Amino acid sequence: MKYRRIIVWFRNDLRLLDNETLFKASQMGAETIPVYCFDPRHFEKTEIGFPKTGAHRAKFLFEAIRDLRSQFRDRESDLLLLRGKPEEELVTLAERLEADAIFFSREVTSEERTIDRSLEKVAWSKGIATESFWQSTLYHIDDLPFPINQTPEIFTQFRKNIEKLSSVRASYPQPEQFKFPRKLIPISGEVPELETYGLEEPEFVREKVMEFDGGERAGLRRIQSYFWEGDHLKEYKETRNGMIGADYSSKFSPWLALGCLSPRIIYEEVKRYERQRKKNQSTYWLIFELIWRDYFRFICKKHGDRIFHLEGIKNTKDSWRRDSADFERWCEGQTGVPFVDANMRELKLTGFMSNRGRQNVASFLVNDLGIDWTWGASYFESQLIDYDVCSNWGNWMYVGGVGNDPRENRYFNILRQAKNYDKNGEYVRLWIPELAKIQGFDIQHPWDLSTAQMKEAEVQLGKSYPQAMVDFEGVL
Ligand SMILES: Cc1cc2nc3c(=O)[nH]c(=O)nc-3n(C[C@H](O)[C@H](O)[C@H](O)COP(=O)(O)OP(=O)(O)OC[C@H]3O[C@@H](n4cnc5c(N)ncnc54)[C@H](O)[C@@H]3O)c2cc1C
């Protein structure tokens, strides 16, 4: 037996299934002490003034922690909850409990890596071993057919390379038993309340796409309902650009972001579905999208901090506007462009937005308003329940034109997009009740209505709904 007592530090891997860190610790026969640490830095205000972790995301996180704790408690173990800087708290705990090792999963981006290094250094100075494991991607970093610093810049090249030359490892089963030194740990800490971090409980919103409950068990239930009960996977490619309801896309992202689900578990379920139900373009496409997720993670690993920089990885010049009032109108869904506003209101009220919506509102902010793309990325970071540092900042770099997109200009013509994806205006009608009486596609461009039509729909531009910030006349 290599270690006697191991602290397993949970980060964005809040699950029992396919958790190599936990599995390896348990397999050693050592006593394992599962720990989560609430880091106050995650709840600070950003430079532009909103909380780094907003209420929707914090709520989802706290639910995931409660779920993990309850799963451990069902197995005669527990999840210890600490508050403070993990690089300090974990070493103090290890010393107090005489643990001889700390295991954790490896992260990619700089803030997390700095914490890892600091933890490793302090632990080492106290004679405590550390071991870290890579477990956030579909393809393991050690199986990439190229060194990380030669990760192809273009997605298609990346995908073709790994599909041809690599394979997905099998997932780890849940550990069979945990040895938990209960007598050493009489108090295990509490999950904070939203108020602890100055956040308010989000209101109930009837229009939301679905109930997102944090935690591994809810994530596994979602696989069950989307793949098996609803049988939606076979039509995923055709429906994935939808915007209303639970089943136009998988909605796995919030659980993936916190590691409640692993991409390998989803992959294995897709393969099982292909064997037992149907194999087609749609079943492949879900894996294709998971490869996008991997791609952004490996690109972040390759380029480090540059993904957060205004110039991105392309080193483009700063020509952005920083107009707080205009930015706030975008955040609040008050731009006067219904397709943008509907999506931004959904985000604010629920913490979720479809992929189609994200592409459009991001393009509107950077291309139509010319506002600093990093502001948009920071707002998404605060709001999205599926916030994932690499997917968020990577996608924003793309839209901002500072990433590695071979296409020079990712401009989305908002009205044409609205025509393709919300032709009758049902989505806009759902989120902008003040326009609800406008019929059909007219709701997407209220500025073209006649005075009589406005009156009939009870709309007064500039009063009941804002004048558009951008002139879209003649673009259709
Ligand atoms: C500006 C912008 C910001 C984004 N920020 C995030 C983010 O913070 N977190 C996040 O998970 N996704 C982000 N995305 C990607 C994408 O919009 C979401 O993953 C997707 O909408 C989640 O819904 P779903 O799980 O139903 O996706 P599905 O269509 O069912 O896709 C399955 C899974 O594939 C992955 N995936 C799909 N599209 C992408 C993509 N473009 N990039 C990376 N992974 C993808 C996700 O893990 C997703 O859960 C962002 C996209 C844009 C344009």
Q: Separation of 249 CA from ligand 1 center, angstroms?
A: 10
pTM: 0.97
Q: Separation of 142 CA from ligand 1 center, angstroms?
A: 24
**Predicted pLDDT at 321:** 95
Yes or no: say if 2 and 28 are a contact pair by the CB < 8 Å rule.
yes
Q: Mean pLDDT, 10 residues at a time, over the chain (476 residues)?
A: 92 98 95 98 92 98 98 96 97 97 94 94 97 97 97 96 98 94 91 97 95 98 98 98 98 98 98 98 98 96 86 79 97 98 98 98 96 96 97 92 71 94 98 98 96 97 97 78
Ligand 1, atom 37: closest residue by C-alpha: 289
The CA distances from residue 7 to 65, 79, 377, in Å, are: 17, 11, 34
**Predicted pLDDT at 389:** 96
Residue 250 Cα: closest atom of ligand 1: 30
**Predicted pLDDT at 406:** 65
**Predicted pLDDT at 272:** 98
The CA distances from residue 366 to 395, 413, 422, in Å, are: 13, 13, 22
Structural tokens at position 10: 């949970």
CA distance 419 to 413: 10
With CA atoms as reference, report the closest residue to 359 among 422, 298, 413. 413
**Predicted pLDDT at 10:** 98
Ligand 1 neighbours (beta carbon < 6 A): 240, 249-253, 256-257, 286, 289-290, 292-293, 296, 354-355, 358-359, 362, 380, 384, 386-388, 391-392, 395-396, 399
Q: What is the DSSP letter of 172?
A: P
- Residues 6 or more apart in contact with residue 359 via CB below 8 angstroms: 399, 412
Q: Separation of 251 CA from ligand 1 center, angstroms?
A: 9
